[in-house]
């Protein structure tokens, strides 16, 4: 079965500096990959998705992620952090025709003023 490993449980950055949240995946087939964001006491919101088109995927709020098959990675980046980016981020993998989407354990992003 497919699986996801988020390499950092907590990332802390200063406002205005770059953000890097790391995600490695395991999949037997061509995967679909997603990043979701969860603000405190809220549901999850889709940031971006990769479904075998362009390997560099742009999402909402200035986030982007690059699919690297050779490294089985799908890291999330943003050039300049904003205070409103403080939240929990989840990397998700699913396989074609598979309804079992697997979530990573999450990375909590803290943004310092």
* Residue 81: C-alpha distances to residues 16, 75, 85, 100 (Å): 5, 15, 7, 32
**Site track 24-43 with another protein (rule: CB under 8 A), x = hit:** --------x-x-x-----xx
Q: What are phi and psi of 60, to 5 degrees?
A: -85, 160
Which residue of 76, 94, 109, 111 would you call a contact of another protein, by CB under 8 A? 94
Contact by Cβ (8 Å): 43, 99: no
Tell whether residue 101 is a contact of another protein (CB under 8 A).
yes
Binding to another protein by residue 49, rule CB under 8 A?
yes
Nearer to another protein, 85 or 88 (CB): 88
Classify 72 as helix, strand or coil.
Answer: coil
Q: How far is the CB of 78 from another protein (least distance, A)?
A: 19
Of 18, 16, 23, 88, whose CA–CA distance to 50 is shortest?
23
Q: Contact between 81 and another protein (CB under 8 A)? A: no
The verdict on 73 binding another protein (CB under 8 A) reads no
Residue 16 CB coordination number (10 Å): 12
List residues binding another protein (CB under 8 A): 4, 6, 9, 32, 34, 36, 42-46, 49, 51, 90, 94-101, 103-106
């Amino acid at each position: 079965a497919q699986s996801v490993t988020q390499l950092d449980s907590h990332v802390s950055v200063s406002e205005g500096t770059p953000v890097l949240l790391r995600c490695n995946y395991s999949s037997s087939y061509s995967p679909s990959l997603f990043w979701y964001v969860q603000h405190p006491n809220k549901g999850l919101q889709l940031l971006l998705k990769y479904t075998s088109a362009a390997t560099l995927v742009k999402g909402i709020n200035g986030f982007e992620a690059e699919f690297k098959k050779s490294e089985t990675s799908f890291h999330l980046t943003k050039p300049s952090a904003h205070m409103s980016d403080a939240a929990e981020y989840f990397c998700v993998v699913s396989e074609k025709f598979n309804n079992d989407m697997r979530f990573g354990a999450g990375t909590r992003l803290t943004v310092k003023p």
